[in-house]
Amino acid sequence: MIEPDLELAQALFNELYAIGYDGIGVTRDTYGPGEQRAHDLIRLSGTELGLEARIDAALNLYLTLPGLERSLPAVLTGSHLDSVPRGGNYDGAAGVIAGMSVLASWIKCGRRPKRDVTVISIRAEESVWFPVSYIGSKSALGLLPADALEAVRFDTGKTLGKHMEEQGGFPETLVNGAPAVSIGAVCAFIELHIEQGSVLIESRQAIGIVTGICGSLRYRSATITGQYAHSGATPRTHRHDAVVAFAELVHELQNTWQVLEADGHELTLTFGQVNTDSKQSDFSKVAGKVVFCIDIRSRDVDTLDLMNDYVQRAVADLSAKHGVNFNLGEKIRSQPASMDPALRHGLTVCAKNRDLKFHAMPSGAGHDAAMFAYTGIPTAMIFIPNANGSHNPDEQMEMDDFSNGARVLSDILWQISNQ
C-alpha cells in the first residue's frame, strides 16, 4: 500500500497558514485576495507535480493526473479553499491537500490510473461572505441561479459577479455557458474534510465515514420590533420588550429541540447572533428592537419542516403575549443529501485494510459534496478528527489523523479510478 506524500502536505499547510494568517486566525475570503492566494499556491504546486491545470468560469481549480483511458468518466476529489473570517487552517483546505498528497505519491512511484483523477479546489463554500450556499460547486455543476451574481458580500458591499470579475472570472459565461463539470464525465466525487464537531475525538475513532449531509433552514436576518420605553417608569405589564420576547423564543425552542431529540429526531438549532440597535438602545430603555438569526439543520427534510412549524407557532404566541412584531425575513433552505452506499462500503473496506477504526456518522455541517450528490454523481465523504471545532482559530487537526484520512482516500481513489 502506498503512502501519501505527507512532506508535501505539511509544506502546503504551513504555506497556506502563512499567507492566510490575519493576526487572530486564518482568513481566506471568498472571491477576495485571501482565497486567491490559496488557489495560486495549490495551482503552482500542481503544475510543479506535472498535473494538468484548468480553471473554470467561476475560478474553481482542477488539477488532473491523466489516466490511461482518458475518455472514461473521471474521478474527482477535493474540497474548498476559502475560510470564514478568523477561521482555522484546516476547514476545506485539508480535503484539497489530501488529494494533492495522494497524487504526488502516485506520481513519485510511477502509478498511473485507468481513469483521470482530478483534485478540485472549490471556490466560495463558506456562505458567511455571500448569502448564497455552495457558490463554487453550484457554479461547476451549472446549478448557480443567475440572480446569485447580484448577492452582495457582507464586508465589501460588492456583488458576487463583481468579485468574480475582479479575480479574473467570467460570470457571464457562468450563466450562459455549459457547466464545467458535466455529469456524465464524472464517475465519483470523494471529499475529505475535518470533522467540525467532536464526535471522532471523543469516541477515539481514526476516521468518520459520512452517511449523509444535513440540509438547513435559516432565517439569517430576523427582527423583533417592540417599543422603546423608560426602564424605570414602565411597569412589567406595560412593556413591549424585544429582548424579553427574544429570550422567550430561545427558551421555548431550546425546550422543543430537547423534546424532538427525545422523540428520535436528529437536528441542531442555533441562534448565533443577536443585537439590539446600536443607536437607539440604552441600558435605561426597554429594548424596542432586536435583530437575530436562526439556523436549523437536519438530515431529514421533515424534521426541518417540523422545527420550522414550532418556530412559527412560538413567534405567533410571543407576538400576542408581548405585543411585539416578529419579522423572520427571508427563509433560506438547503437540501439534505445522502452519500452513495457503494462508495461508503468501499470506504469501510479501505479503512479495515489499513487497520483503522472508523465511525459511520452524519455531517451536521453542509459540504460541497451535497451538491455533487444532488446532481446524481455518486459521492462520499471522509471525516478526520479535529479538536476545538471549526470556523475558529483554534481548530486543530493532527498530522497523524490527516495521514490516516489521506491513506484511505488514496486507496479508494485508486480502486475507483481503475474500475
| Contact region with a second copy (CB under 8 A), list: 137-145, 343-351, 360-368, 410-418 | 360-368
Q: Is 152 in the site for a second copy (CB under 8 A)?
A: no
The answer to whether residues 367 and 390 touch, using CB atoms and an 8 Å cutoff, is: no
Interface residue with a second copy among 9, 164, 286, 304 (CB under 8 A) is 286
Residue 184 or residue 232: which is nearer to a second copy going by CB? 232
Beta bridge pairs of residue 325:
225
d(CA 152, CA 104): 38
Backbone angles phi, psi at 34, to 5 degrees: -65, -50
The CB-of-220 to a second copy minimum distance in angstroms stands at 5
The CB-of-244 to a second copy minimum distance in angstroms stands at 6
Total interface residues for a second copy by CB under 8 A:
70
What are the cell numbers at 120? 478540485
Residues 6+ apart with CB under 8 A from 371: 134, 137, 138, 141, 143, 337
CB atoms within 10 A of CB 165: 16
Q: Is 46 in the site for a second copy (CB under 8 A)?
A: no
| Contact region with a second copy (CB under 8 A), list: 28-36, 93-101, 303-311, 359-367 | 359-367
What are the cell numbers at 50? 506535472
Residue 53 or residue 259: which is nearer to a second copy going by CB? 259
Q: Is 246 in the site for a second copy (CB under 8 A)?
A: yes
Q: Is 112 in the site for a second copy (CB under 8 A)?
A: no
d(CA 293, CA 134): 20
What are the cell numbers at 286? 426597554
Closest CA to 360 of 202, 200, 197: 200
Interface residue with a second copy among 23, 71, 279, 355 (CB under 8 A) is 279
Closest CA to 143 of 371, 373, 377, 380: 371
The CB-of-388 to a second copy minimum distance in angstroms stands at 8
> In 55-159, which residue ranges form alpha helices assigned H by DSSP?
93-108, 135-140
DSSP code string of 147-171: GGGG-B-TTT--BHHHHHHHTT--H
Interface residue with a second copy among 3, 165, 166, 248 (CB under 8 A) is 248
| Contact region with a second copy (CB under 8 A), list: 34-42, 52-60, 251-259, 409-417 | 251-259
The answer to whether residues 86 and 26 touch, using CB atoms and an 8 Å cutoff, is: yes
Q: Is 274 in the site for a second copy (CB under 8 A)?
A: yes
Q: Is 389 in the site for a second copy (CB under 8 A)?
A: yes
Residue 43 or residue 218: which is nearer to a second copy going by CB? 218
R_g of the chain computed on alpha carbons? 23
Q: Is 235 in the site for a second copy (CB under 8 A)?
A: yes
The CB-of-85 to a second copy minimum distance in angstroms stands at 7
The answer to whether residues 134 and 90 touch, using CB atoms and an 8 Å cutoff, is: no
Residue 148 or residue 296: which is nearer to a second copy going by CB? 296
Q: Is 392 in the site for a second copy (CB under 8 A)?
A: yes
Q: Is 107 in the site for a second copy (CB under 8 A)?
A: no
Q: Is 240 in the site for a second copy (CB under 8 A)?
A: no
The CB-of-205 to a second copy minimum distance in angstroms stands at 15
Q: Is 127 in the site for a second copy (CB under 8 A)?
A: yes
- Dihedral of CA atoms 203, 360, 2, 40 in degrees, nearest 10, equals -90
3-state secondary structure of 82: coil
Q: Is 214 in the site for a second copy (CB under 8 A)?
A: yes
Residue 28 or residue 115: which is nearer to a second copy going by CB? 28
Interface residue with a second copy among 159, 268, 335, 418 (CB under 8 A) is 268
The CB-of-69 to a second copy minimum distance in angstroms stands at 39
Q: Is 307 in the site for a second copy (CB under 8 A)?
A: no
d(CA 218, CA 308): 9
DSSP code string of 344-409: HHHHHHHHHHTT--EEEEEESS--THHHHHHTT--EEEEEE--BT-SSSTT-B--HHHHHHHHHHH
The CB-of-250 to a second copy minimum distance in angstroms stands at 3
Interface residue with a second copy among 49, 58, 290, 381 (CB under 8 A) is 290
The CB-of-237 to a second copy minimum distance in angstroms stands at 9
What are the cell numbers at 121? 479546489
Question: Which residues of this protein are in contact with a second copy, per CB under 8 A?
Answer: 84-86, 127-128, 195-199, 214, 216, 218, 220, 227-236, 238, 241, 243-244, 246-251, 254, 257-258, 261, 268-276, 278-288, 290, 293, 295, 297, 363-366, 389-392
